[in-house]
Structure 1
Amino acid sequence: MPKINFKTSGKVAEFAEGDEVNVLRTSIRAECGVPWRCASGNCGTDRILIEEGAEHLSPPRRRERERLGELMDQGVRLACQTYASGDITISWDPEQKGLDEDSELGKRLKKRWLGVMEDS
């Protein structure tokens, strides 16, 4: 089974062979700790560094390219805009602060975003 190694939190999430999974959604479901706020590519809070497995990632989307600019040349991606189809290792700045997922806003956004993603 392919896996995402969330190096900063020390967690690993596996997914079914042949699947393509959203990196942020996987992090939220498996409680792997990637910080996030909007989950739609607007805020840039969920910046991750691709350490291994870039060849197993979806091509960058326009919103991601616009938000990150030259950082993409350094291997930075947005977890909410990135899909993995094989083994990858990612890390992020542990000082990055995301939305408090236990706040009312956090719960609403998480439920809405995960629900929308399930239909995709």
Structure 2
Amino acid sequence: MSVDIRFLPDDKTVRVKPGMTVLDASRKARVHIRTRCGGNASCLMCKVTVEDDGAGLSAPGDNEVRKLGSMIDERVRLACQARAIGSCVVSVPEDPLKAAVRAQLAKQREDDWL
């Protein structure tokens, strides 16, 4: 048996065995999710947003709930802790450095028009 995890905005889908973390699935799909702690839920960098009803992911554990607090209610999960139990869709936030570069380039284009 296998399940599909779809990663947005890359629109990449990967088929994995149930129980695999979203972080490990992202590596298999070649979707970059930032992390520093190697999947120990200590850096909190691997946050993703669940785009569907979340039924395809394991319930948040006590450690994840303590770390994320009210963000859990906003469908935010730690990719290193959320395990696939069914097919699901998650959104990976843009890397802050890439976002800054993109914003700077957009500003330059706008300035060139003036």
TM-score band by shorter chain is 0.7 to 0.9
The gaps in structure 2 that reach 5 residues or longer are 98-114
The amino acid across from 1:10 in the alignment is D
In the superposition, the TM-score normalised over structure 2's length comes to: 0.74
In the superposition, the TM-score normalised over structure 1's length comes to: 0.71
Residue in 1 that maps onto 2:21: 22
Q: Is the contact made by 2:14 and 2:28 (CA closer than 8 Å) also made in structure 1?
A: no
Q: Is the contact made by 1:57 and 1:83 (CA closer than 8 Å) also made in structure 2?
A: yes
Residue in 2 that maps onto 1:82: 82
Q: What SS does structure 2 have at the residue aligned with 1:42? A: coil
Once the 2 structures are TM-superposed, how far is the Cα of residue 53 of structure 1 from its aligned partner?
4.3
Q: Is the contact made by 1:5 and 1:11 (CA closer than 8 Å) also made in structure 2?
A: yes
Residue in 1 that maps onto 2:11: 10
Q: Is the contact made by 1:3 and 1:87 (CA closer than 8 Å) also made in structure 2?
A: yes
Identity of aligned residues (%): 28
Kindly tell me: are residues 96 and 23 of structure 1, through their superposed partners in 2, closer, same or farther at Cα, counting changes over 3 Å?
Answer: farther
Residue in 1 that maps onto 2:64: 64
The gaps in structure 1 that reach 5 residues or longer are 98-120
Once the 2 structures are TM-superposed, how far is the Cα of residue 62 of structure 1 from its aligned partner?
1.7
Q: Distance in 1 between matches of 2:92 and 2:12?
A: 13
Q: Distance in 2 between matches of 1:86 and 1:95?
A: 27
Q: Is the contact made by 2:49 and 2:76 (CA closer than 8 Å) also made in structure 1?
A: yes
Kindly report structure 1 stretches of 4+ aligned residues shifted beyond 2 Å: none
Q: Distance in 2 between matches of 1:55 and 1:77?
A: 13
* Greater radius of gyration (CA): 2
Q: Distance in 1 between matches of 2:89 and 2:52?
A: 5
What CA RMSD, in Å, does the superposition of the two structures yield over aligned residues? 1.6
